């Protein structure tokens, strides 16, 4: 039979943090659940009642009560997990980012913009970094870089025609393209509505 566990007396600082987390909507779900476990236990609730109210396992309640009793608020955070060491070094990640920020034509490549597939091939063949396209995307997003969405040839795009915006490689946009294109045909037939 499992032992009966009680939460130790909370300090004023711990009580403030727990009371702030219990109703929180912007904190992580894990942090809120753990704060609720401690809060309910500090109100005199037993493990079974807390588990029923929060719809979690009794072992989970016991775990977080033990960790809080031992380490306080620090015990409510996730412990570091063991795992595979980082696959790519900081230098390799730097190469990935540097390559993605360089125009392919400056590197002597026959295309004008990067795709994840092109970048993967370039890094593997030229730099010797066997990085997958999903990892390239993850690293670039982690650095705050995003791919531009391609602009279709058939749409009008809003753009300020100033000398600052026009770069050397930009082609002028035909202002009468929409009229020249004509009316777009719908891809599905219209249905008749019954009266």
Q: Do 43 and 66 fall into the same domain?
A: yes
Q: Is residue 64 part of a domain?
A: yes
pLDDT at 91 over 80: yes
Largest CA distance in the chain: 82
Q: Do 65 and 39 fall into the same domain?
A: yes
Cα–Cα distance, 99 to 93 (Å, whole number): 10
Q: Which of 107, 122, 142 is the last residue of a domain?
A: 142
pTM over 0.85: no
Q: Do 21 and 64 fall into the same domain?
A: yes
Q: Is residue 195 part of a domain?
A: no
> What total number of domains does the chain contain?
2
Q: Do 68 and 19 fall into the same domain?
A: yes
pLDDT at 20 over 90: yes
Domain that holds residue 26: 12-76
Q: Do 58 and 20 fall into the same domain?
A: yes
Q: Is residue 70 part of a domain?
A: yes
Q: Is residue 128 part of a domain?
A: yes
CB 62 within 8 A of CB 69: no
Give 37-55 pLDDT, tens digit per residue: 999 999 999 999 999 999 9
Q: What is the mean pLDDT of the chain?
A: 82
Looking up residue 71, the CATH number of its domain turns out to be: 1.10.10
Q: Do 52 and 103 fall into the same domain?
A: no
pLDDT above 90 covers what percent of the chain?
44
Q: Do 69 and 24 fall into the same domain?
A: yes
């Amino acid at each position: 039979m499992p032992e009966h566990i009680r939460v130790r007396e909370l300090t004023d600082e711990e009580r403030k943090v727990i009371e702030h987390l219990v109703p929180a909507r912007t904190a992580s779900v894990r942090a809120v659940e753990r704060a609720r476990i401690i809060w309910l236990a500090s109100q005199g609730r037993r493990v079974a009642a807390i588990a029923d109210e929060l719809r979690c396992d009794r072992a989970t309640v016991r775990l977080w009560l033990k960790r809080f009793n031992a380490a306080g608020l620090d015990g409510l955070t996730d412990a570091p997990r063991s795992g595979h060491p980082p696959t790519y070094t900081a230098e390799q990640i730097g190469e990935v980012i540097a390559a993605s920020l360089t125009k392919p034509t400056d590197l002597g490549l026959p295309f004008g913009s990067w795709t994840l597939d092109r970048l993967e091939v370039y890094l593997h063949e030229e730099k010797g970094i066997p990085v997958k396209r999903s990892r390239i995307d993850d690293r670039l997003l982690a650095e705050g870089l995003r791919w531009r969405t391609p602009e279709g040839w058939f749409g009008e795009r809003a753009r300020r025609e100033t000398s600052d915006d026009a770069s050397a490689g930009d082609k002028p946009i035909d202002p009468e393209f929409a009229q020249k294109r004509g009316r777009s045909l719908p891809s599905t037939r219209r249905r008749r509505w019954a009266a």
